[in-house]
Structure 1
Amino acid sequence: MTTRLDIQSLPTTADLGFSGGRDNFRAFCRQVFRTKEPRFLRTPGDQLVVFRHADLMLFGTAPEVGNLPIGRMYPDRFREGASPERSPGWEIGEVIGSQVFTFNPPLHGPARRMLLNWLGPKQVGRMEDLARSVARHVVGKIGNGETIDLVSTVADAVVVGFWSRLLHLTEQEEAAIGRCAHEMTRLFHANRSQEDVAALGKAFAEYARLLDLAATRGLEKGDPAMLDIAARLKELDFPDDPDEVGLVPKSVGAVLAGNLVDGFHTAALAAANTFHALLENPEAMATVRGAPETLPRAIAEALRLEPPVLTLSRYVLRDFHFDGLVVPAGNTITMMWAAGNHDPSVFPDPERFDMSRPQAGLTTFGSGIHICPGRYAGVMLTRVMLEEFFAQGLDFRNTGTPAQWIPDHFMNQLRTLPIGISRPQ
């Protein structure tokens, strides 16, 4: 016999002190993992919260638990008789509706393969020279003795520059899409204001326009990646089903826009968070400087410690039975992936930077068939930035001015990371 999981009876994340943001998150993890109970939590809006590592793996690999469809995010847009007029913020929905994280079977599998054919490990390896060229240019402009904000001066600049060059954007278009990526931060505010929604609408509309332009330009130039996406897009012959399966992207530009939100925004967070973790752990910094081959392990551990994404939403497609419990279909679930990396039952002394830890079980990028397809690009960009700092002999250090993390946020995102730079004479 199974028992329906009584979500409303669970303590909330707020009861345990979590309202969003990195420092808030750290304190939450210290408290919630002191005991084995509660097993689950709920959001103040009564969504089930999964945060323990074993349960993240259980839910993350269950076929009954899929992605949150666009029709569940914007139910008023798709209800029968809905007004054709754009509601505030719908520009966001038009972009996100083409993102693989809103697709479920049968659309999800082939759409995901389309992305991995562009951003898989071998393909990203072939992009490394371009990334290195951009990083060399950005890092090379930093003067000896300067104090810089690593977030804007390096992480954002390299990530935006890389994607802009890959997608044949002009310098003016690169600057414009950089501004859009900056505004995307508002998307992850725990309590979005009307000002946030208005700014996001403008930013997403311009972002979508620029990536549609990039797709058209790439197809005209005969870019193999754009041509392949166009060919595979034609094979996604599924009826639109916003409430479960998702919406088939209508163009190559829509594919790019939907799936490069993380490329432009979250990849920069990963780079900045890695630099921060190494600055806070000088022994690890010394190790990677002396032995660059250890960088992959250092980045993995830095992103375990400071994962960019705190939570993502999932959706129960079919009644999910486990351990004598059932979560009924139709429930939205908050997957607190970052907490899995801080679960001491899997990662002892979780706030300690330890490059010798086994990497099995990391939840930095999620797990299962929904694991982030852009993770190879994000890690490669982070590694190339660090390698370029080392290649140019730059020493970077904390300035005494503390890093600022964005509070009340569903990303683990630095607002600023001041560092001092010294170049060899």
Structure 2
Amino acid sequence: MVNPTGTTGTSEPLPPLAALPTERPAGCPFDPPAEFAQLREEEPLRSMVYPDGHVGWLATSHSLVREVLADNRFSTRPELVHWPVPGPAAEYTAPPAEPGMFLRMDAPEHTRYRRLLAGKFTTRRMRLLTERVEQVTAERLDAMERQGPTVDLFQEFALPIPAQMMCELLGVPYEDREFFERQAIATNDNSQGPEAQFAAYGELQKFLGELVLAKRAKPTDDVLSELTDSDLTDEELTNIGALLLGAGFDTTANMIGLSVYALLTHPDQLAALQAEPERADQAVEELLRYLTITDTGMRTALEDVELAGRTVKAGDTITLAVQAANRDPEKYPNPDVLDVRRQAAGQLTFGHGIHQCLGQHLARVEVRVALVELFKRFPGLRLAIPAEEVPLRTDSDFHGVVSLPVTW
């Protein structure tokens, strides 16, 4: 039984978890590790041993994850964070964030960058980008129709839409987009190993650095060009470009691909979306909750904090199981059921607090337009292979599909 403090009915805490659960249940490609449900019920703030020996915490309830994300006593600085899963990132202390990498900064440094960028994601720009998303989506559907009736929907549809939108947002020349997309994907592909990832990121940084110089010399109608009027240095602009790319390209591509996979394997939910496309915004919010393509986040306490009846000491890292929080029955009844008619407001896939995703509105537009227009053009769309044979991304920072063969 859970008491109001979020701890078990006994006064003694449970022993630390030996490791973060990461194994998804067999045959359930959309579900988080099964252990999270029991952890959330028994002790939603549980001590946990990290790969480097640090004894920190794991938060699994929606209320706790949201509370930590909103509390400025918890830091996102990489040099303070202990990594929760084995691998190269857990084996060394990360350096402080480079200039411009504001997602890994606390206030007031974070505030300065955030204010500069928030002014660039205006209502006018979002309206213009929505019109452009519709055009790009129509172009990709035309290309699919010419190539079909069997295509890899991830490569031919889910990936190109956010890739092109990010290129236009940053002002990447058309002729450079294939290289740009390839390096961006490789940066997040953990299956290639850290050396290949660092090499891809280095190529991306070099490209963006040259792009910043070009924008200073000859500005165009894009975010990078507008930022050259600020007091930001070339290094800051380069890193901001990399950050915006990382936040808005691979993430959205995987969200589109995994959403289509989920709808094709839940025909009743697909039928509901097709019957009421005017409620697509609501369906997208539910898909964001149900799929939760970004599994976890981390924060480190800057001072002792009383949380859920426990004392989180200064220096303790908390791993925030966002996928568990989005499946919390206290927040969402029957949370393991995909229901596109559900009111899924408050889902934490885009985070919460000062670090909430800056491009979340564009991402929602891209997913909504992609889904509505895809199933309008191909109402009989179906998987071209058995559902259990769809290859999933298990070695990436984002949950998704490697490919999604479909036919009509």
TM-score scaled by structure 1? 0.79
> Which residue is equivalent to 2:200?
203
Give the structure, 1 or 2, with the largest relative contact order (CA under 8 Å, sep 6 or more): 1
> Are the counterparts in 1 of residues 283 and 341 from structure 2 also a CA contact under 8 Å?
no
**What is the distance in 2 between the residues matched to 1:297 and 1:371?**
19
Counterpart residue number, 1:215: 212
Q: 2:65 aligns with which of 33, 56, 60?
A: 56
How far did 1:414 drift?
A: 1.6
Deviates more, 1:161-170 or 1:273-282: 161-170
CA offsets 1:80-104 (integer angstroms, 9 cap, x no match): xxxxxxxxx99x9799763322010
Matching residue within 68, 74, 80 for 1:65: 74
The match for 2:3 is none
Aligned CA distance change for structure 1 residues 20 and 285 (closer, same or farther; 3 Å): closer
Q: Residue 416 of structure 1: SS of its match in structure 2?
A: coil
Task: Please provide the CA RMSD for this pair.
Answer: 3.4
Report SS of the residue matched to 2:58. Answer: strand
1:237 corresponds in structure 2 to: none
Code of the aligned partner of 1:39: P
Q: Which residue, 104, 117, 120 being the options, matches 1:118?
A: 120
Residue type at the aligned position of 2:264 = L
Question: Does 1:309 find its partner at 2:294?
Answer: yes
Q: Give the Cα–Cα distance (whole angstroms) in 1 for the partners of residues 207 and 39 of structure 2.
A: 48
Q: CA deviation at 1:309?
A: 0.4
Q: 1:320 aligns with which of 305, 310, 327?
A: 305
Please show how residues 11-410 of structure 1 align to structure 2 within 5 Å.
Answer: 11-14=17-20, 17-19=21-23, 23=28, 26=31, 28-29=33-34, 32-33=37-38, 36-41=41-46, 42-45=48-51, 46-67=55-76, 69-72=77-80, 98-119=100-121, 123-143=125-145, 145-187=148-190, 196-219=193-216, 220-223=218-221, 225-234=223-232, 250-390=235-375, 392-393=377-378, 395-402=380-387, 403-407=390-394, 410=397
Partner amino acid, structure 2, of 1:412 = H
Contact 1:50–1:335 (8 Å) recurs in 2: yes
Are 1:95 and 1:254, in contact at CA under 8 Å, matched by a contact in 2? Answer: no
The corresponding residue for 2:88 is none
Mapped partners of 1:153, 1:6: distance in 2 = 54
Per mean C-alpha deviation after superposition, the further-off stretch among 266-275 and 251-260 is 251-260
Name stretches of at least 5 consecutive residues in structure 1 with no aligned partner. Answer: 76-88, 190-194, 235-247
Change (3 A) 1:62 1:415: same
Code of the residue aligned with 1:226 in structure 2: it is L
Q: Is the Cα–Cα contact under 8 Å of residues 78 and 95 in structure 2 kept in the other structure? A: yes
Q: Does 1:415 align with 2:402?
A: yes
Letter in 2 for 1:136: A
Distance verdict in 2 for CA 1:318–1:122, change over 3 Å:
farther
Residue in 2 aligned with 1:245?
none
Normalised by the length of structure 2, the TM-score is 0.82
In 2, the alpha carbon distance for the partners of 1:44 and 1:408 equals 19
Partner of 1:86: none
Distance in 1 separating the partners of 2:72 and 2:273: 40
In 2 relative to 1, CA 285–373 (structure 1 residues): closer, same or farther, beyond 3 Å? same
Partner deviation per Cα, 1:31-73 (whole Å, 9 max, x = no partner)? 6348721323325424421111121122121121121x24346
Distance 1:19 1:392, change over 3 A: closer
Take 1:256 and 1:346, find their aligned partners in 2: how far apart are those partners? 35
Percent identity reads: 20
Q: Any conservation in 1 of the 2:50–2:56 contact (CA below 8 Å)? A: yes
Distance 1:331 1:306, change over 3 A: same
Distance, in Å, in 1 between the alignment partners of 2:307 and 2:66 is 12
| Deviates most, 250-259 or 337-346 | 250-259
Q: In structure 2, what is the Cα distance between the partners aligned to 1:261 and 1:344?
A: 31
Residues matched between the structures, number: 382
Q: Give the AA of the match of 1:101.
A: L
CA contact (8 A) 2:189 2:395 kept: no
Q: Secondary structure at the residue paired with 1:335?
A: strand
CA distance in 2, matches of 1:394, 1:400: 18
Does the residue aligned with 2:319 lie in a helix, a strand or coil? strand
User: Is the 8 Å Cα contact of residues 64 and 318 (structure 1) preserved in structure 2?
Assistant: yes
- CA distance in 2 between counterparts of 1:319 and 1:217 reads 47
2:285 & 2:378 partners in 1: Cα distance?
Answer: 23
Q: CA deviation at 1:382?
A: 1.2
Letter in 1 for 2:202: A
Shift of 1:361: 2.6
Cα displacement (A) at 1:363: 1.4
- One-letter amino acid of the structure 2 residue matched with residue 204 of structure 1: Y
- SS of residue in 2 equivalent to 1:314: strand
